[in-house]
Amino acid sequence: MQDSKAWSGRFSEPVSELVKKYTASVGFDYRLAEFDIEGSLAHAAMLHRAGVLTADDLAAIRGGMEAIREDIRAGRFEWSLDLEDVHMNIERRLTEKIGDAGKRLHTGRSRNDQVATDIRLWLRHTVDSIVGLLAELQRSLVDLAEPNAATVMPGFTHLQVAQPVTFGHHLLAYVEMLARDAERMGDCRRRINQLPLGAAALAGTTYPIDRAYTAQLLGFDGVCQNSLDAVSDRDFAIEFSAAASLVMVHLSRLSEELVLWMSPRVGFIDIADRFCTGSSIMPQKKNPDVPELVRGKSGRVIGHLMGLLTLMKSQPLAYNKDNQEDKEPLFDTADTLIDTLRIYADMMRGITVRADAMRGAVLQGFATATDLADYLVKKGLPFRDSHEVVALAVRHAEGQGVDLSDLTLGTLQGFCPLIGGDVYTVLTPEGSLAQRDHVGGTAPAQVRTQIARHRARLG
């Protein structure tokens, strides 16, 4: 019995069942079906324009592909492991439907440039979805930041109380990160959006193709300029995975903070019940499972990036079967990132802020010590001397179990006679915030200005 594979004429025996299972990709690349059909229709239109396909062939291909598309969307299409991949499954079904016209569709192309085109079409669509979801998450963060533009909380370095900031300002830091993430995705999209089709197996084709016309039909910005490079490199997929990894790193950092803030020992926030789970043995528990899982899934996405880099590092030109291994990590990266962004945009709307706990934490860590140092500098004391004075004052307050603002004026003047009664305006958290009224500062007025900027940017 003759093997059903497109290349079986070269071989004297069929592929073993074990090899079929090991080498087949249809179990995961079926996800490219819509994009494979889109690319094939554009290729057929180009071949007709070049005089390679007749009008009847083109009409038959279009009708057959539309029927196949409907079958796939309805779940009626039967995928065959014997046919290896999404491309051969669709081509074989097309030929069954329309005869020889289906066999002519593959003129002037190879599965090598076909799959490279399909992946780029799919990834372009995926990037567009991710950019939209990044914008939605930024809006959720801005919505939470706005009523907390003046909510005092401790800013930390080394996880130690450093200086007062506002909760709104803190949230806007993540908005800035996500805005850069969206920019990276946009940059990546420009390099994705180059057409490989026409490179054929590796050397181009002898048929009178018009690659620019195919690119125009498919919405590509241009064509890959070297046929060897077009079919063999996956740097665009690696670049996407790197950009996706950075998004997940940013969300993992936010996740770590949400977990800390929700701890009863900190108590800055509460996360809505629908994003948490309980314990099978401890009835009091409310676990922040979503942020914890996002921390874990960041490792999954970063791992896929490392896998793709390793996949490419030793491949000679041009196409190698190794590249079949690009799809599963790429698909999983996209799925993980999209799911994470969706759930995070919703979860941020379900956060309750405990403002009293935040302000209380500011008062526990001498957060206005730098403000006192700056106050003394403005009175004429060199900063290094000012730093020493305040350090001594902090040591004294710590020994007394009080905040700097609780020390009497006489006690403070004992450390430096330049201190006057106006010092208490800078020793309160609100006074500290108000002094940082410059672009990028944490003063509530500046936070509201940034919120307005982000709203205008995000629409």
What residues are annotated to the active site?
158, 279
Half-sphere exposure of 239 (CA within 13 A, CB side): 19
330: part of which helix (H) or strand (E)? helix 327-348
Q: How far apart are CA 165 and CA 436, in angstroms?
A: 10
Q: How far apart are CA 376 and CA 422, in angstroms?
A: 11
- What would the DSSP string read from start to end of 276-293? -B--SS-TT--B-HHHHH
Q: How far apart are CA 217 and CA 177, in angstroms?
A: 35
CA 332 and chain centroid, separation: 12
CA 347 and chain centroid, separation: 17
Identify which of 432, 431, 458, 363 has the alpha carbon closest to the alpha carbon of residue 401.
363
Burial of 418 (0-12, 13-18, 19+ CB in 10 A): middle
Q: How far apart are CA 273 and CA 287, in angstroms?
A: 9
**Measured distance between the N- and C-terminal CA atoms of the chain, rounded to whole angstroms:** 63
Q: How far apart are CA 196 and CA 198, in angstroms?
A: 6
Backbone φ/ψ region at 227: left (φ over 0), alpha (ψ -120 to 50), beta = alpha
The first and second tokens of residue 340, run together, are: 């994470």
Residues whose CB falls within 8 Å of the CB of residue 135, separated by 6 or more in sequence, listed in order? 182, 458, 459
Evaluate whether 354 touches 269 at the Cβ level (below 8 Å).
yes
Burial of 438 (0-12, 13-18, 19+ CB in 10 A): exposed
Q: How far apart are CA 252 and CA 81, in angstroms?
A: 39
Q: How far apart are CA 182 and CA 262, in angstroms?
A: 28
Give the start-end residues of each E strand in 203-331: 222-223, 269-271
Identify which of 435, 434, 412 has the alpha carbon closest to the alpha carbon of residue 423.
412
